[in-house]
Structure 1
Amino acid sequence: MRCVSDLGSLSLHNVLSIEIKGRLWCVPYPLAFLFRTQVDLESGHFELQDAG
């Protein structure tokens, strides 16, 4: 997990952007995943997108 917020953008004021990646155990090989989410810190609304 890492923060990917653009610190110079005023349009994303009070919005936290996070990238989540990892691997799920699966047979015959692990399955990789990558998600991005934006959390509005004022309203609590979030959006999860498949980025992988």
Structure 2
Amino acid sequence: MAKNGVKCTDFATLHPEDVAAAKQLTEMGVHVFFNSIGVSGNVTEWTTVAKRI
């Protein structure tokens, strides 16, 4: 973490077109992943994100 940095919760803003595309791809059997930017470098699969929408 950067000096004087503030830890925050990871979040993402997706456009409706992005959501529709991710849904369509997963229905075709494609696994969709999102990479976090920064130190954490977490990788989250669409199936996890979809539960929050």
TM-score relative to the length of structure 1 = 0.29
- More strand by percentage: 1
> Could you say which structure has the greater relative contact order, defined with CA pairs below 8 angstroms and 6 or more residues apart?
1
Q: Identify the structure with the greater helix proportion.
A: 2
Q: TM-score, normalised by structure 2?
A: 0.29
